[in-house]
């Protein structure tokens, strides 16, 4: 039995070349994915995009959603996986497309799942990866740089392959990225109020808070509970 991929959304962040947008759409069509979001493309040349998408994937381009910034593009998503070729001690642990595909599908029955791809020149920066629940690195040999459409094809192929498996575990609907980002903003204000920034920079504490919560499957109810606690802390500090 093939599981539904309709809640999987491909997000292209600041793609530079219209041909890559079209080729990515064609790859999605090949693998049974249909929802494309594009953030701040450098050149939205529809003729060049459609030439690479071909007639078969033209409907994905017609329905593609354009956004001016990444926060708007992913705000309603519940789970987000970002792709990167850069790894190291200071970077978060990464999954391969194969190991993460089953995890993402376990959420997609009840939640919107996004796969985020960076620009051809810069990839994804730390600010974009901070929004992600999972980080994906595609294994390569001696040359790690892949074309954008190639990366999309590999990840979509693994999702299609996983969707045909027998295991079907469904996770509960999770909090949206908008809800989680609101919680992190609330956390930052609370850290400031209790003087937590006196010995370390704000980025240090917020980064560690993000890492802690990224390991948790937070529902909207969980986020409301955390924010309720933070409101009480802020009230107590203010009323001393």
Q: Hey, where are the domains in the chain?
A: 8-163, 177-238
Asked if pLDDT for residue 77 goes beyond 80, the answer is yes
Question: Which has more pLDDT, 230 or 91?
Answer: 230
Residues 6+ apart with CB under 8 A from 44: 18, 21, 38, 66
Asked if pLDDT for residue 2 goes beyond 80, the answer is no
Under 8 Å between Cβ of 184 and 209 = yes
Mean of pLDDT values over 143-157: 92
Q: What is the pLDDT of residue 91?
A: 61
Under 8 Å between Cβ of 64 and 11 = no
Q: What is the pLDDT of residue 14?
A: 97
Q: What is the pLDDT of residue 16?
A: 96
Q: What is the pLDDT of residue 86?
A: 74
What does DSSP say about strands 79-83 and 35-39: parallel, antiparallel, or unpaired? unpaired
Q: What is the pLDDT of residue 11?
A: 98
Q: Which CATH superfamily is domain 8-163 in?
A: SPOUT methyltransferase, trefoil knot domain (3.40.1280.10)
Q: What is the pLDDT of residue 216?
A: 82
Mean of pLDDT values over 63-88: 92
Helices (H) then strands (E): counts for the chain: 10, 6
Matching CATH topology for 8-163 and 177-238? no
- Token pair for residue 136? 């994906």
Q: What is the pLDDT of residue 34?
A: 95
Q: What is the pLDDT of residue 90?
A: 58
Q: What is the distance between the alpha carbons of residues 150 and 23, in angstroms, rounded to a whole number? A: 9
Q: Strand order of the sheet with strand 79-83?
A: 65-67, 35-39, 8-13, 113-117, 79-83, 134-136
Residue 205: band (very low, low, confident or very high) from pLDDT cuts 50, 70, 90: confident
pTM as predicted: 0.85
Average pLDDT, the chain: 90
Q: What is the distance between the alpha carbons of residues 117 and 36, in angstroms, rounded to a whole number? A: 11
Q: What is the distance between the alpha carbons of residues 97 and 59, in angstroms, rounded to a whole number? A: 26
Q: What is the distance between the alpha carbons of residues 154 and 181, in angstroms, rounded to a whole number? A: 29
Question: Which has more pLDDT, 50 or 172?
Answer: 50
Q: What is the distance between the alpha carbons of residues 97 and 140, in angstroms, rounded to a whole number? A: 12
Under 8 Å between Cβ of 205 and 161 = no
Residue 208: count of CB within 10 angstroms of its CB: 11
176-198: pLDDT as tens digits: 999 999 999 999 888 888 887 66
> Between the CA of residue 39 and those of 63, 122, 143, 185, what are the distances in Å?
14, 14, 27, 23
Mean of pLDDT values over 57-82: 97
Three-class secondary structure of residue 38 per DSSP: strand
Mean of pLDDT values over 99-110: 91
Three-class secondary structure of residue 8 per DSSP: strand
Mean of pLDDT values over 84-91: 69
Lowest mean pLDDT among 122-126, 191-195, 199-203: 199-203
Topology annotation, domain 177-238? Helicase, Ruva Protein; domain 3 (1.10.8)
Residue 90: count of CB within 10 angstroms of its CB: 6
Q: What is the pLDDT of residue 168?
A: 60
């Amino acid at each position: 039995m093939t599981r539904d991929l309709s809640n999987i959304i491909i997000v292209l962040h600041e793609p530079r070349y219209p041909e890559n947008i079209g080729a990515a759409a064609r790859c999605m069509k090949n693998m049974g994915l249909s929802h494309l979001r594009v953030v701040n493309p450098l050149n939205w040349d529809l003729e060049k995009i459609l030439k690479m998408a071909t007639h078969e994937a033209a409907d994905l381009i017609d329905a593609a959603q354009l956004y001016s910034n990444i926060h708007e593009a992913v705000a309603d998503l519940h789970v987000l996986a970002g792709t990167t070729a850069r790894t190291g001690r200071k970077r978060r642990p990464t999954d391969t497309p194969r190991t993460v595909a089953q995890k993402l599908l376990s959420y997609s029955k009840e939640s919107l799942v996004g796969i985020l791809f960076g620009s051809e020149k810069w990839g994804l920066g730390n600010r974009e990866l901070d929004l992600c629940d999972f980080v994906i690195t595609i294994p390569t040999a001696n040359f790690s740089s892949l074309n954008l459409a190639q990366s999309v094809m590999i990840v979509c192929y693994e999702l299609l392959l996983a969707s045909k498996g027998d295991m079907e575990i469904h996770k509960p609907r999770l909090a949206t990225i908008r809800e989680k980002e609101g919680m992190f903003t609330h956390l930052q204000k609370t850290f400031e109020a209790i003087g937590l920034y006196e010995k370390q920079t704000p980025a240090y504490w917020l980064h560690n808070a993000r890492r802690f919560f990224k390991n948790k499957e937070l529902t909207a109810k969980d986020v409301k509970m955390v924010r309720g606690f933070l409101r009480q802390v802020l009230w107590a500090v203010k009323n001393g």
